[in-house]
């Protein structure tokens, strides 16, 4: 999912926010209608709580012209425009507007029917959270980790004598995402240290000083030959990744 | 099953403690009585607000999570005992009130049913959510290392500097405290206990908001709660608070969007009705809770309070009332100053 940036997209930002986050986008229209109802039937209290703050926010923080200018200075909040929408509680506002309208009728029967009709309308046109996931199953690999990385982690968990293992990955994506899948692996930077990976001799010295237990390199890469010459022990190949043990660490 | 029963007991205990603490806060009504939901909400703000203060000081001093839990357990015990002793009349008063009124209207028991059903639904939806990352990982890391946000959950390494927004956001520490005292797993405390608690409190705050909005007419208020809950369940959007409630109701953002924001509107409405100065204490506590629950809360609470202050100014209500509302902005303003002007705090 892209995060839209208020500074870059300007006026179309609000529309893109709504489209991107999808859900039942009619809530915004329902809230707008409810605001009109509160304005007409809400009385002083209704206007004080729902209408005036909404108007002030619409003119300031929620204004697509002003919001980018406000946060161009602060930075780091451009993609979080939707959070300001929490300040106008759309569900409560819709309910207040609906009740102000429904209870204009005298008959209790009509009030009940109309309340039920509004709830039924919301239920039919809406999209509840649970419908996304039924029938429910156990989540598997929910963070969509790379399958090769998953197999590497499983192999190391089964074969390593240590509870936590320091592992140097040549692939930077593996290094950054490995702990999403396996918290017992501590990523090491050794393979991205330009001095250490200059040649086999430098690597041997660096590996002797380092606590890294395993090296994971791409099969046939330059790093593999340096690691091999430095005395690392090849243990297994998983897909296109070779796993090596740090001999110094294991001989301690 | 044992874990589920313990989680249910923890939820009930939390609501009871909130009620007791709520009775200890000053009253705004002349008859000295407050409804159960008002007491529970007041107690929640008192509990979370005071915990925020204690936890920020402990984190600043670099104490362990165990120390924070011990300190907070002592403070909470003292506060609860003080509330019980000083406001014993509220309990007997409520029993008298219940005997007198419970037959008159079916709204309250039905409301409890709606709140429990909504909580059950949200817990079921929350179990399927994948977004438990930030809060749960912070809790488990802190509990494993006996630290308070000084270890990076992603790498397991000790941090040299802590962001001011992390220092102020002590909501996960509060959940860790619950894990420590109940021996429940962090996932159970978040996905079950806190999810259900936040939903129940959000229904309570909606009920009070509509009750005051419709001049105490329970039928109108109950119909509005029903429609609001239906709108929240069936909207499922990130730009309304309900998306948070069903996806990750245990997060500080869900607390801010679903409890703090309606509570501020409720307090403004009550101030309009009563002009009681006791209400400003609640508004002040709501500001502290907003700062402690999520980093957006610091800014958004200030924006919301200003948005509700302007109409009152235009209507001509200034003087002491206006100054008190400005005083409620002190804590968020301090939080914003810390977050925007302090690059980081060295971890002790």
User: Residues 272-291, chain B: which have Cβ within 8 Å of A?
Assistant: 272
Contact B265 A186 (CB under 8 A): no
My answer on whether omega of the bond before A135 falls inside 30° of 0, hence cis, is yes
pLDDT band at A77 (very low <50, low <70, confident <90, very high): low
CA-closest candidate to residue B136, choices B184, B205, B94: B184
Q: What are phi and psi of A104, to 5 degrees?
A: -75, -25
A96: which chain B residues are within 8 Å (Cβ-Cβ)?
A: 210, 213, 224
CB B229 within 8 A of CB B119: no
> Across chain A, what does the average pLDDT equal?
76
Q: Phi, psi (5° rounding) for residue B151?
A: -120, 135
d(C-alpha A157, C-alpha A162), whole Å: 8
Token match 């396996």: residue?
Answer: A182
Give contacts of B272 with chain A, Cβ < 8 Å.
44-45, 48
- What are the per-10-residue average pLDDT scores of chain B (348 residues)? 84 91 74 75 92 90 89 93 80 68 68 88 69 72 82 78 83 88 83 90 93 89 93 75 77 89 90 78 88 82 86 72 81 77 74
- Residues B251 and B297: their CA atoms lie apart, in Å, by 12
Q: Among all residues of chain B, which has the CA nearest to that of A18? A: B239
Distance from CA of B307 to the nearest CA of A (A): 5
Residue A145 banded pLDDT, cuts 50, 70, 90 = low
**Alpha carbons A246 and A193: distance in angstroms, whole number:** 16
Query: Coil, strand, or helix at residue A245?
Result: strand
Q: Which of B318, B220, B302, B223 is nearest to B256 (CA)?
A: B302
ipTM over 0.90: no
pLDDT at A5: 47
pLDDT at position B27 is 67
Cα separation of B298 and B288, whole Å?
A: 9
Q: Which of A126, A136, A139 sits opposite B234 (nearest CB)?
A: A126
Nearest to B281 by CA among B344, B221, B328, B340: B328
Q: Does B223 touch chain A (CB under 8 A)?
A: yes
Q: Is the pLDDT assigned to residue A76 strictly greater than 60?
A: no
Alpha carbon distances (Å) from B165 to A250, B56, B58, B133, B306:
42, 11, 15, 18, 22
Among B119, B143, B307, most A C-beta atoms within 10 A, so best to mutate, is B307
Q: How far is CA A83 from the centre of its chain?
A: 15
| Chosen from A87, A164, A167, A168 to mutate, greatest number of chain B CBs within 10 A | A87
- pTM for the complete prediction? 0.75
What residues contact A52, with CB distance under 8 A and at least 6 apart? B307, B308, B310, B311
Pairwise CB contact (< 8 Å): B243 & A23: yes
CA A242 from centre of chain: 31
State phi, psi for B158 to the nearest 5 degrees.
-70, 135
According to the model, what pLDDT value does residue B259 have?
92
Q: Which residue of A has its CA nearest to B203?
A: A92
The tokens 């300190």 sit on which residue? B71
**pLDDT over 70 (residue A16):** no
**Alpha carbons B47 and B259: distance in angstroms, whole number:** 14
CB contacts of A182 in chain B (<8 Å) are: none
Residues 6+ apart with CB under 8 A from A11: A64, A65
**For position A134, what pLDDT does the model report?**
42
Nearest Cα to Cα of residue A219 among A202, A197, A194, A240: A240
For residue B286, list chain A residues with Cβ-Cβ distance below 8 A. none
Q: Cα separation of A179 and A185, whole Å?
A: 7
Q: Assess contact for A24 and B236: CB atoms under 8 A.
A: yes
**CB distance A146 to A173 below 8 Å:** yes
Residues of A in contact with B229 (CB under 8 A): 91
Q: What pLDDT is stored for residue B81 in this prediction?
A: 92
Alpha helices by DSSP H, listed for chain A, are: 6-9, 13-21, 26-41, 43-46, 52-59, 66-74, 81-84, 90-102, 108-125, 147-159, 172-181, 200-209, 222-229, 247-251
**Start-end of H helices in B214-329:** 218-235, 242-248, 252-255, 261-274, 278-293, 295-314, 320-327
The answer to whether B310 contacts A56, with C-beta atoms less than 8 Å apart, is yes
Contacts of residue A180, Cβ cutoff 8 Å, sequence gap at least 6: A143, A145
Residue bearing the bigger pLDDT, A25 or A204? A204
pLDDT value at residue A68: 67
Q: Is A144 helix (H, G, I), strand (E, B) or coil?
A: coil
The pLDDT confidence band at residue A176, using thresholds 50, 70 and 90, is confident
Tell me: pLDDT of A11 over 50.
no
Q: Determine the pLDDT at residue B93.
A: 66
* Minimal-distance CA residue of chain B relative to A184: B156
Backbone angles phi, psi at A169, to 5 degrees: -105, 135
Lowest mean pLDDT among A43-52, A137-146, A223-232, B117-126: A137-146
Residue closest to B312 by CA, chosen among A48, A22, A9:
A48
Q: For position A101, what pLDDT does the model report?
A: 92
* Residue % of chain A over a pLDDT of 90: 12
Give, rounded to a whole angstrom, the gap between the first and last alpha carbons of chain B.
41
Is residue B135 within 8 Å of B171, Cβ to Cβ? yes
Say if CB A173 and CB A220 are below 8 A apart.
no
Q: Do B241 and A86 touch (CB under 8 A)?
A: yes
What residues of chain B, 140 to 179, have a C-beta less than 8 Å from chain A? 154-157
CB contact at 8 A, B285 and B46: yes
Kindly identify which residue of chain A lies nearest to residue B215, measuring between CA atoms: A45
Residue B131: what pLDDT? 54
The minimal CB distance from B231 to the residues A80, A94, A115 is found for A94
Q: How far apart are CA A117 and CA A115, in angstroms?
A: 5
Q: Which residues of B touch A21 (CB under 8 A)?
A: 237-239, 243
Model confidence at A144: pLDDT above 70: no
Distance between CA atoms of residues A214 and A166, nearest Å: 7
- B74 to chain A, minimum CA–CA distance in Å? 34
Nearest by CB to B265, from A49, A125, A136: name it.
Answer: A49
Q: Which pLDDT belongs to residue B121?
A: 85
pLDDT beyond 70 at A158? yes
Cβ neighbours of residue A43 closer than 8 Å, sequence gap 6 or more: none
């Amino acid at each position: 999912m892209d995060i839209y940036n208020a500074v870059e997209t300007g006026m179309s930002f609000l529309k893109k926010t709504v489209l991107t986050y999808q859900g039942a986008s009619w809530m915004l229209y329902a809230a707008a209608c409810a605001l009109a109802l509160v304005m007409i039937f809400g009385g002083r209290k209704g206007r004080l709580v729902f209408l005036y703050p909404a108007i002030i926010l619409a003119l300031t923080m929620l204004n697509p012209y002003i919001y980018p200018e406000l946060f161009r200075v602060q930075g780091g909040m451009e993609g979080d425009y939707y959070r300001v929408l929490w300040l106008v509680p759309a569900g409560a506002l819709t309910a207040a507007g609906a009740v102000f309208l429904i209870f204009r009728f005298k008959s209790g029967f009509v009030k009940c029917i109309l309340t039920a009709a509004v709830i039924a309308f919301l239920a039919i046109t809406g999209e509840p959270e649970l419908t996304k996931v039924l029938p429910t199953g156990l989540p598997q690999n929910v963070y969509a980790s790379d399958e090769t990385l998953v197999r590497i982690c499983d192999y190391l968990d089964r074969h390593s004598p240590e509870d936590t293992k320091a592992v140097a990955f040549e692939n930077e994506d593996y290094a950054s995402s490995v702990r999403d899948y396996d918290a017992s692996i501590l990523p090491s930077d050794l393979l991205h240290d330009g001095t250490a990976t200059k040649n086999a001799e430098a690597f041997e010295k660096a590996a002797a000083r380092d606590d890294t237990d395993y090296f994971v390199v791409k099969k046939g890469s330059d790093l593999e030959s340096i690691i091999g010459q430095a005395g690392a022990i090849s243990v297994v190949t998983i897909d296109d990744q070779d796993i090596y043990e740090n001999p110094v660490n294991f001989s301690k | 099953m044992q874990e589920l029963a313990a989680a249910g007991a923890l939820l009930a205990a939390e609501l009871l403690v909130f009620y007791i603490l709520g009775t200890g806060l000053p009253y705004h009504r002349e008859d000295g009585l407050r409804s159960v939901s008002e007491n529970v909400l007041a107690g929640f703000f008192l509990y979370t607000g005071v915990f925020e203060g204690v936890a920020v000081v402990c984190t600043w001093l670099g104490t362990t999570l165990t120390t924070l839990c011990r300190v907070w357990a002592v403070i909470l015990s003292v506060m609860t005992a003080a509330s019980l002793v000083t406001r014993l009349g509220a309990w007997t008063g409520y029993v008298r009130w219940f005997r007198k009124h419970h037959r008159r209207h079916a709204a309250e028991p039905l409301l409890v049913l709606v709140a429990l059903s909504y909580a059950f639904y949200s817990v079921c939806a929350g179990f399927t959510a994948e977004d438990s990352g930030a809060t749960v990982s912070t809790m488990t890391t802190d509990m494993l290392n006996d630290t308070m946000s000084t270890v990076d959950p992603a790498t397991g390494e000790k941090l040299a500097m802590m962001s001011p927004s992390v220092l102020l956001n002590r909501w996960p520490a509060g959940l860790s405290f619950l894990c420590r005292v109940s021996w429940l797993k962090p996932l159970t405390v978040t996905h079950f206990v806190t999810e259900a608690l936040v939903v129940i409190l959000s229904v309570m705050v909606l009920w009070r908001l509509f009750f005051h909005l419709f001049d105490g007419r329970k039928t109108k208020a109950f119909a509005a709660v029903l429609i609001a809950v239906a709108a929240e369940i069936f909207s499922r959007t990130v730009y309304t608070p309900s998306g948070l409630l069903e996806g990750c109701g245990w997060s500080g953002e869900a607390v801010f969007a679903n409890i703090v924001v309606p509570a501020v509107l409720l307090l403004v409405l009550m101030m309009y009705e009563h002009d009681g100065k006791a209400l400003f204490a609640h508004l002040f506590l709501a500001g502290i809770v907003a700062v402690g629950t999520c980093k957006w809360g610091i800014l958004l609470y200030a924006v919301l309070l200003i948005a509700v202050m302007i109409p009152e100014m235009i209507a001509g209500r200034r003087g002491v009332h206006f100054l008190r509302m400005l005083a409620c902005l002190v804590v968020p303003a301090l939080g914003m100053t810390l977050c925007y002007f302090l690059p980081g705090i060295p971890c002790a």
